[in-house]
Amino acid sequence: MHDWNVVISLHERTYGQARKLLEKLAPVSRTSYFNVLVMKVEDIGCLLETLRQWMEADAHIRDILARVVPVVRTFTFQTVEEFETKARETSLSFVPALAGKTFYIRMHRRGFKGRLSSQNEERFLDEFLLEALDKMGNPGRITFADPDAILALETVDCRAGLSLWSREDLQRYPFLHLD
């Protein structure tokens, strides 16, 4: 599936269970990465609430799904330069929500090994967003200790997706596991 908007990481030996569970919600596809699935959902809010309710009703589901991260903006890329250009452009849509807030970027990269460094790209985007916030006149600040928000950046091969999660979102949906 090339048009995903959710990346799911699984615990060991749970592929069959996870696929059966998630297919109740939307089409699910395997990736070439161990214990990583992708899916395309129409309503991210419905997905989040359904998973939250399922996990409250059945704690065993937490032993299946390690991370579930929906994204709201996606792009494709072929080179590191194209990735950085599109990541900057796409992340700008989150600037108003980050105004005056503490935050950080968390990237989970699958693919482009040796060409994209998650830590370098996180710093690159942190600096870019801080500069954009300063220009807007409403500076933000990077902090890893209880930030107001985390900007998640997920890649699978040559596709990337971003989403912004507030402190409240992270508490309500612990399966996001952005760290």
Tally of domains in the chain: 2
Q: What is the pLDDT of residue 5?
A: 98
Query: What three-state secondary structure class fits 22?
Result: helix
Q: What is the pLDDT of residue 114?
A: 86
Strands 102-108 and 141-142: parallel
**Helix 118-136 vs helix 80-91: crossing angle, to nearest 10:** 40
Q: What is the pLDDT of residue 1?
A: 54
Residue that is last in its domain, among 70, 91, 124:
70
> What are the mean pLDDT values of the chain's consecutive 10-residue runs (179 residues total)?
90 95 96 96 97 96 96 97 97 97 97 91 97 96 97 97 97 92
Structure tokens at 160: 């990337």
Residue that is last in its domain, among 28, 47, 70:
70
Rounded Cα distance, 36 and 156, in Å: 9
CA 62 to chain centre: 18
Residue that is last in its domain, among 41, 70, 99:
70
**Same domain, yes or no, for 65 and 98?**
no
